[in-house]
Chains A and B, each alone.
Chain A
Amino acid sequence: MRLQELILLKPPLQPSELSDIELVDGVLGGVPGAVEAFYRRHSRLIYHCIRSRADRQDVDDIFQAFFERMMKRDYRILQLWQRGTSLPLYLSKVVRNFVIDFHRSRRRREEPVGGTMELEPLAGSQPEPMTAVTHLKELRKVGIRAWSVLEPRDRRLVCDRLHRDLDNDTMASRLKLSAGALRTAMSRAQSRYLLQVRSLAPEFFP
């Protein structure tokens, strides 16, 4: 049997078997059922990202508005997704920006005329192509912001552990702490650090 015949006999892929690239191509190409398949796969993640950043009473409205805008703009946001990178991470960033825009537009309606808000439309809102490095850079910025609000000793502990790779003995001698005290101090410092990270990037936490 020839290869072409084998291909013809192969049953069509189920939506659950499609990769994100195939799924997005289907949505952009107007393939029947592709939008529904995209919704089934990613709606929960989108809902979670909105829920983690918006007030509870706004979540449903933002969720619906997000999909309405996607449809209205012919899924342009999916055209901008760089193939090969993580679609869930990309969507999380898109949703985050959408929620921020939602809050800004609400504030704009409530603010009097004037102010720097009027300059924002001129600033250009073209999303830049996102890669794995971009995601990590952003998370790194989040980490720096979270680290910057810690107490000096916590900052030092977190820095020694995460970026200097110092072992416990070295850290204990530098801080003049016993091994047990260091473990407790380190555990608390990391917890406080993660609490700050969580407040800045809540979508990555359950």
Chain B
Amino acid sequence: MTARPSEGSGEQPETVDEVMLAVLSNRRRSAASLTPQQEQLLDDWVANRLAPDNAARAADLVKQNILAAERVLERRLQQAAERGPSVPENLAARVIAASSMSNAPSRSGRWRSLGRWRWTAIIGAVALASIFLLVGRPILQRAMQGEAPIQVAVATISNRDALFEPSDIRMRGTSPPQGQPGDQRFRDVEVPTSILRALLAAPAASRAIQPYLPNAGADEAQPLHIIVDAALKQRLEADPGRERIPVRIYDLAAQRNSDLRGIVGRVPASGKAYLLTLKP
């Protein structure tokens, strides 16, 4: 296939399009950024506003520089588009209407894109969080406050003289002297044996003994050190069917019980310490 017309066909060649010829002969030798003057020169050339010498300069630039060729090609494209017919109005209206319709949902699309399963998961998570807040909050608060540990030790007291109390003396024909509870350095109580057994078995889980302890209060944050007299333990083991047992409790932190600290061994300085022994 050839494009050559036959001789004498009378074909008149078109005006030579120097701009396109320059772009087609670009050698891609340079990609230097264009100066504003060069850009103006190229734009004027495409718009056919240049004198022949400047047109030759512009053509040389386009042949050598990639960016110049690209700019000229872009201007050429835009020029061709401007010379062509514009978009029919009804077509333009249809496209713009479609674009505005597609724009609005795209903004809410983020919500829709969550999908049915994700919505279910979100609702489930909210429900679980509500249940946790209602039910678990007290538990959480308690856990956050923390319960102080209870330490229990069994001590064998060889010399029990220090445990002798004057109030224990009973004279025939006379009633025993009953001092005021505030005057005594101990507290005699009857404690359910189940509490004592639980205390000896799992001290960390049992705070049921706390109400029986003098000056212990309700402060669960304070560590408790309880020393159980081995004799009391033996009594518990000897009579498993017994429900309650009289127990004498000494507050080892009290000044007047300082003599007892020597017979039970080392007592921790922090927290409260008690001695649980038999009531004679």
Interface string of B1-28 (1 = CB under 8 A from A): 1111100000101101100110111101
Given known A132-B67, A187-B13, contact A206–B25 (CB-CB < 8 A)? no
Given known A136-B70, A196-B3, contact A60–B88 (CB-CB < 8 A)? yes
A53 interface hit (Cβ, 8 Å): no
In the complex the two chains form, is B91's CB within 8 Å of A71's CB?
Answer: no
In the complex the two chains form, is A39's CB within 8 Å of B99's CB?
Answer: yes
B102 interface hit (Cβ, 8 Å): yes
**Chain A residue total in the interface (Cβ 8 A):** 55
Other-chain residue from B25, B66, B67, B87 in contact with A162 (beta carbon distance below 8 A): B25
How many angstroms from the CA of A188 to the CA of B3 in the assembled complex? 11
In the complex the two chains form, is A162's CB within 8 Å of B24's CB?
Answer: yes
Other-chain residue from B3, B80, B88, B107 in contact with A151 (beta carbon distance below 8 A): B3
In the complex the two chains form, is B84's CB within 8 Å of A35's CB?
Answer: no
In the complex the two chains form, is B77's CB within 8 Å of A45's CB?
Answer: yes
In the complex the two chains form, is A67's CB within 8 Å of B99's CB?
Answer: yes
In the complex the two chains form, is A67's CB within 8 Å of B80's CB?
Answer: no
Given known A43-B92, A88-B78, A191-B14, contact A133–B28 (CB-CB < 8 A)? yes
Rounded to whole Å, the gap between the CB of A35 and the closest CB of chain B is: 5
In the complex the two chains form, is A89's CB within 8 Å of B87's CB?
Answer: no
Q: Determine, out of A6-14, A98-106, A114-122, A197-205, the stretch whose residues face the partner at the interface.
A: A197-205
B82 interface hit (Cβ, 8 Å): yes
Given known A36-B96, A89-B70, contact A206–B106 (CB-CB < 8 A)? no
B269 interface hit (Cβ, 8 Å): no
Interface string of A23-67 (1 = CB under 8 A from B): 000000010100110010001110111011000000010011001
Interface string of B61-90 (1 = CB under 8 A from A): 000001101110110111111111111100
B118 interface hit (Cβ, 8 Å): no
In the complex the two chains form, is B74's CB within 8 Å of A47's CB?
Answer: no
In the complex the two chains form, is A149's CB within 8 Å of B3's CB?
Answer: yes
B160 interface hit (Cβ, 8 Å): no
How many angstroms from the CA of A64 to the CA of B97 in the assembled complex? 11
How many angstroms from the CA of A51 to the CA of B83 in the assembled complex? 12
In the complex the two chains form, is A191's CB within 8 Å of B13's CB?
Answer: yes
B162 interface hit (Cβ, 8 Å): no
B215 interface hit (Cβ, 8 Å): no
In the complex the two chains form, is A39's CB within 8 Å of B67's CB?
Answer: no
In the complex the two chains form, is B24's CB within 8 Å of A51's CB?
Answer: no
Contacts of B73 in A (CB 8 A): 86, 89, 135-136, 139, 204
Other-chain residue from B11, B28, B66, B95 in contact with A64 (beta carbon distance below 8 A): B95
Rounded to whole Å, the gap between the CB of B14 and the closest CB of chain A is: 5
Rounded to whole Å, the gap between the CB of A114 and the closest CB of chain B is: 30
Given known A30-B107, A149-B3, contact A204–B76 (CB-CB < 8 A)? yes
B205 interface hit (Cβ, 8 Å): no
Within 8 A of B (CB), among A151-195: 151, 153-154, 161-163, 187-188, 190-192, 194-195
A15 interface hit (Cβ, 8 Å): no
Other-chain residue from B14, B21, B99, B106 in contact with A74 (beta carbon distance below 8 A): B106
In the complex the two chains form, is A132's CB within 8 Å of B76's CB?
Answer: no
Q: Of residues A60, A86, A187, which shows the largest number of chain B Cβ atoms within 10 Å of its Cβ?
A: A86
In the complex the two chains form, is A206's CB within 8 Å of B80's CB?
Answer: yes
In the complex the two chains form, is B1's CB within 8 Å of A149's CB?
Answer: yes
Other-chain residue from A39, A44, A64, A162 in contact with B21 (beta carbon distance below 8 A): A162
Contacts of A143 in B (CB 8 A): 24
How many angstroms from the CA of A142 to the CA of B25 in the assembled complex? 12
Q: Give me 9 other A-B pairs in contact (C-beta within 8 A), A44-B81, A132-B69 excluded.
A: A43-B87, A74-B106, A132-B66, A140-B24, A140-B26, A149-B1, A190-B13, A192-B13, A206-B80
Q: Give chain B's interface residues, CB within 8 Å of chain A.
A: 1-5, 11, 13-14, 16-17, 20-21, 23-26, 28, 31, 66-67, 69-71, 73-74, 76-88, 91-92, 94-96, 98-100, 102-103, 106-107
